[in-house]
Chain A
Amino acid sequence: MSIVLATYNIKGGVGKTSAAVNLAYLAARGGHRTLLWDLDPQAASTFLFRVRPKLRGGARKLVRMHAPVVQQIKGTDHDRLDLLPADFSLRHLDLALDAFKRPTTRLARVLESVTPDYDYVFLDCPPSISLVSESVFEAADALLVPVIPATLSSRTFEQLEELTGDDTSGGPVQVLAFFSMVEARRALHRGAMARLREVHHLTMLGAAIPASEDVERMGDERNPVAVFAPGSIAAVSYEALWWDVQRRMRAGR
């Protein structure tokens, strides 16, 4: 049984793609067969793995499964890590899904056709609330939600909770939030982190990802942080986060 993890936030620019790319890399490096599905039409994950942003037949053909989904998958430069690339046609994924009778379960169906090959599947989701995000909630075992420790950003977490249902009521998808782009020197960040950690019905993971030049350099290096800056604070933080996520997923099984 593969474990499906989705990095998600309603807002953009909070570190979703960085988390998806780095965690997927660490999963594969740890010996797990791993797939990253880039669902964002901006194709940032696809770009970071040096794969051409091209879906043969576009989003429509993909969700219709006329051809095996596996034919669209590309191996990355890293052992055991594959990518289902994104292209611009994914901006109409909502419409493509809506053509089905039960649109929110379609994405899970598409995923099922490839999950036997993988131990972990990461979904890198576009920022929005849409049919795509609802489908992701349906397909994922857990949502990994990056939260920037600022008041405004923290609001998004509450909005998300309303959407997925209260986690404590044993809803279908587990919500694991973590702090992202943390500037530990700033009192505002420290204060927001302390406040959020006290909200007991939120699952805030212990590991936090710092705002870091190394994370920004990923765009130039086109590699996960652990490849070009092993031992950096960012790389170590992602490892701590991955360790924490695995622990939670094991406990949840």
Chain B
Amino acid sequence: MTDRTAELVAERELAPEEIAAALAELGLAVRAADADTIERVYLDTFDGLLHAEGLTLRWQRGQLELLPAGRGDIPFAAAACPDPAGPLPVAQLSPGPLRDALHPVIDVRALLALARVRVHSTPLAVLDALDKTVARLAVETPALVSGSGREALLRPRLRLAGVRGYERELALVRDRLSGALGLEPAGATLADEAVRAAGGRPEGTGAKVDVALDANERADAAAAAVLSRMLEIADDNLPGTIADTDSEFLHDYRVSVRRSRAVLRELKGVFPPGELGELRAELRWLQQVTGPSRDLDVYVLEFDATRALVPGEERAELEPLRAVLGGRRLVARRQMVQELRSPRAVGARARWGSMLERLVALPGEDRPDATAPIGELAAARIRRVYRRMVRMGRAIGPDSPAEEYHELRKQGKELRYLLELLGVPLFDAGVVKPMIRALKGLQDVLGRHQDREVQTATLRALADEVSALPGGPACLIAMGVLVDRLERDAAAARAEFADAFASFASAEQRARVRKAFGA
């Protein structure tokens, strides 16, 4: 298929008259239609999920439109929508093709207005000797509109669209205008340029750690690098957590706190003991004050999936439970936000950052591992946690108390963070990747077991509150059925444990660990 669109940028304003003059030499005429100014908003998720898929989402003239980036100006899905001032969850869009197209890409993430532009556009038809349109142009003068309504001009653009059957003419027009007017192909879409001009990142703000490490570098420097990145992720996600923009902000915030705690614990010999103790206590506290909110987020997000565990006729009876969970979630959020804004949280953040900045320059006498090569230290920790897990797992049988499964899962998280944060950048991917995979399989089983136990306990704790609501008694009966299904699923997870653990702790796997991380 011939390329039927092109976008060129100019370093100065373009007048339709100079375009007409340039094309007259090709024997082509230009007819201008009425100029128009439209206001447009570009949207994406915080982490740029649409951008990563090569999609552009824009709002203009009361419509949300989804376009494949850089392939003309024709949306492949659209829906009516008011001016998107605040975060927009996909569930808020009316059902239809646009929602269907967005949902698999962005899931629970909200759409955020990243840049608002005002585009003054003059459409021009390029005509041949028969007065037939052989190409369409649009001279666009875009401006970024700030929150206060002030405009900042962006580079003028010339958009070219071909007419079927006139591909040769389009190429001639493009080459002629590029040469005569000094236009360059637009490297970036207007959406990307506007988001960048607004101070944003078109590719979004990710929560990947991805810190390059050298096996021979000082352990304290490596730890500071990894922890600084996680502090950055926590900082990135705190405003969205407080504003409840979508549930992923809190999730990513908590993951980064939990990972930081794992690094502090596993590499404790590189930190000054006094400060380490304080920081660990503060991070544990941050984890605790955000826990109930996250648990309730998950209950609400997974309500429909959990409800599907009970037979069809009883599903509707569970509706009062949704209301109770929603109410509890709001209460938990209010408490969490209060704590996250408290002087204690602000102080903890400041100490966290300050320790990382000073770490490498601190005296070494009470930090025995500070200058050890990170490769050796990481290998020792990975080996140790892996062995501990093998020992713990072997002691677990079908009748073991739930706490033992839970403890093993906690060690599993520790190992996973070690592998992801230090294992991936420092060791052979051929060993680390399969190890993470086997660990994931085990963690899924343990996680399901744990979740079901916690869900059962939560349902029992909510019984009184639910019974007082209209429809409460029927809901209680359905909750009884649900508890029974959850317990059965927990039992099923226990039954699956043996297999998942066997592959995680197989002789082959142990040999690989020994080989990669030393004896």
Q: Is A57 part of the contact surface with B, judged by Cβ < 8 Å?
A: no
Q: Is A77 part of the contact surface with B, judged by Cβ < 8 Å?
A: yes
Decide: B163 and A74 in contact? CB cutoff 8 A.
yes
Specify which chain A residues have a CB less than 8 angstroms from the CB of B165 in the assembled complex: 51, 71-75, 82
Nearest CB on B from A36, distance (A)? 13
Q: Which of A51, A73, A82 contacts B132 (CB 8 A)?
A: A51
Decide: A75 and B131 in contact? CB cutoff 8 A.
no
Specify which chain B residues have a CB less than 8 angstroms from the CB of A74 in the assembled complex: 163-166
Bitwise, B120-133 to A at CB < 8 A (1) or not (0) is: 00000100001111
Q: Roughly how many angstroms separate A213 CA and B165 CA in the complex, as a whole number? A: 32
Q: Roughly how many angstroms separate A77 CA and B132 CA in the complex, as a whole number? A: 7
Interface size on A, residues (CB 8 A): 13
Q: Roughly how many angstroms separate A82 CA and B4 CA in the complex, as a whole number? A: 15
Q: Is A222 part of the contact surface with B, judged by Cβ < 8 Å?
A: yes
Specify which chain B residues have a CB less than 8 angstroms from the CB of A76 in the assembled complex: 133, 163
Best-surrounded residue of B162, B163, B164 (most CB of chain A within 10 A): B164
Decide: B164 and A82 in contact? CB cutoff 8 A.
yes
User: Who on chain B is nearest to A49 by CB?
Assistant: B132
Decide: A50 and B131 in contact? CB cutoff 8 A.
yes
Q: Is A52 part of the contact surface with B, judged by Cβ < 8 Å?
A: yes
Specify which chain B residues have a CB less than 8 angstroms from the CB of A75 in the assembled complex: 133, 162-166
**Chain A, 39-56, CB within 8 A of any chain B CB:** 49-52
Q: Is the interface of A mostly helix, strand, loop or mixed?
A: loop
Q: Roughly how many angstroms separate A52 CA and B131 CA in the complex, as a whole number? A: 11
Specify which chain B residues have a CB less than 8 angstroms from the CB of A50 in the assembled complex: 130-132
Decide: B164 and A77 in contact? CB cutoff 8 A.
no
User: Who on chain B is nearest to A47 by CB?
Assistant: B130
Nearest CB on A from B157, distance (A)? 20
User: Who on chain B is nearest to A80 by CB?
Assistant: B74
**Chain B, 87-140, CB within 8 A of any chain A CB:** 125, 130-133
B interface, how many residues as a size bin? Answer: 10 to 19
Q: Roughly how many angstroms separate A241 CA and B130 CA in the complex, as a whole number? A: 30
Specify which chain B residues have a CB less than 8 angstroms from the CB of A73 in the assembled complex: 164-165
User: Who on chain A is nearest to B134 by CB?
Assistant: A75
Nearest CB on B from A24, distance (A)? 15
Decide: B130 and A52 in contact? CB cutoff 8 A.
yes
Q: Roughly how many angstroms separate A21 CA and B329 CA in the complex, as a whole number? A: 61
Q: Roughly how many angstroms separate A222 CA and B127 CA in the complex, as a whole number? A: 14
Q: Roughly how many angstroms separate A75 CA and B133 CA in the complex, as a whole number? A: 9
**Chain A, 66-95, CB within 8 A of any chain B CB:** 71-77, 82
Q: Roughly how many angstroms separate A74 CA and B162 CA in the complex, as a whole number? A: 11
Specify which chain A residues have a CB less than 8 angstroms from the CB of B163 in the assembled complex: 74-76
Nearest CB on A from B77, distance (A)? 14
Decide: B166 and A77 in contact? CB cutoff 8 A.
no
Nearest CB on A from B301, distance (A)? 37
Specify which chain A residues have a CB less than 8 angstroms from the CB of B131 in the assembled complex: 50, 222
Nearest CB on A from B20, distance (A)? 18
Q: Roughly how many angstroms separate A82 CA and B163 CA in the complex, as a whole number? A: 9
Best-surrounded residue of B125, B133, B166 (most CB of chain A within 10 A): B133
User: Who on chain B is nearest to A51 by CB?
Assistant: B132
Specify which chain B residues have a CB less than 8 angstroms from the CB of A49 in the assembled complex: 132
Nearest CB on A from B219, distance (A)? 62
Specify which chain B residues have a CB less than 8 angstroms from the CB of A82 in the assembled complex: 164-165
Best-surrounded residue of A50, A51, A73 (most CB of chain B within 10 A): A50
Decide: A77 and B130 in contact? CB cutoff 8 A.
no
User: Who on chain A is nearest to B162 by CB?
Assistant: A75
Q: Roughly how many angstroms separate A222 CA and B166 CA in the complex, as a whole number? A: 19
Specify which chain B residues have a CB less than 8 angstroms from the CB of A77 in the assembled complex: 125, 132-133
Nearest CB on B from A114, distance (A)? 11
Specify which chain A residues have a CB less than 8 angstroms from the CB of B130 in the assembled complex: 50-52
Q: Roughly how many angstroms separate A71 CA and B166 CA in the complex, as a whole number? A: 10
Nearest CB on A from B96, distance (A)? 15
Best-surrounded residue of A50, A52, A75, A76 (most CB of chain B within 10 A): A75
User: Who on chain A is nearest to B164 by CB?
Assistant: A75
Specify which chain B residues have a CB less than 8 angstroms from the CB of A71 in the assembled complex: 165
User: Who on chain A is nearest to B132 by CB?
Assistant: A50
Nearest CB on B from A72, distance (A)? 8
Nearest CB on B from A120, distance (A)? 16
Q: Roughly how many angstroms separate A156 CA and B505 CA in the complex, as a whole number? A: 87
User: Who on chain B is nearest to A71 by CB?
Assistant: B165
Q: Roughly how many angstroms separate A222 CA and B130 CA in the complex, as a whole number? A: 10
Nearest CB on A from B164, distance (A)? 4
Best-surrounded residue of B131, B132, B133, B162 (most CB of chain A within 10 A): B132
Nearest CB on B from A87, distance (A)? 14
Specify which chain B residues have a CB less than 8 angstroms from the CB of A72 in the assembled complex: 165
Q: Roughly how many angstroms separate A241 CA and B70 CA in the complex, as a whole number? A: 39
User: Who on chain B is nearest to A85 by CB?
Assistant: B165
**Chain B, 145-183, CB within 8 A of any chain A CB:** 162-166
Q: Roughly how many angstroms separate A215 CA and B217 CA in the complex, as a whole number? A: 84
Bitwise, A117-130 to B at CB < 8 A (1) or not (0) is: 00000000000000
User: Who on chain A is nearest to B1 by CB?
Assistant: A70
User: Who on chain B is nearest to A70 by CB?
Assistant: B164
Q: Roughly how many angstroms separate A51 CA and B162 CA in the complex, as a whole number? A: 15
Specify which chain B residues have a CB less than 8 angstroms from the CB of A51 in the assembled complex: 130, 132, 165
Q: Roughly how many angstroms separate A64 CA and B163 CA in the complex, as a whole number? A: 25
Best-surrounded residue of B133, B163, B164, B165 (most CB of chain A within 10 A): B165
Q: Roughly how many angstroms separate A75 CA and B134 CA in the complex, as a whole number? A: 8
Q: Roughly how many angstroms separate A77 CA and B125 CA in the complex, as a whole number? A: 9
Specify which chain A residues have a CB less than 8 angstroms from the CB of B133 in the assembled complex: 75-77
Q: Roughly how many angstroms separate A51 CA and B133 CA in the complex, as a whole number? A: 9
Nearest CB on A from B48, distance (A)? 31
Q: Roughly how many angstroms separate A49 CA and B134 CA in the complex, as a whole number? A: 12
Which 9 pairs show the lowest CB-CB distances between chains A and B? A74-B165, A75-B163, A50-B132, A75-B164, A77-B133, A50-B130, A82-B164, A73-B164, A73-B165
Known pairs A50-B131, A74-B164, A77-B125. 10 more at Cβ < 8 A?
A49-B132, A50-B132, A51-B130, A51-B165, A72-B165, A73-B164, A75-B162, A75-B164, A75-B165, A77-B133
5 pairs across A/B with beta carbons < 8 Å? A51-B130, A73-B164, A74-B164, A75-B133, A82-B164
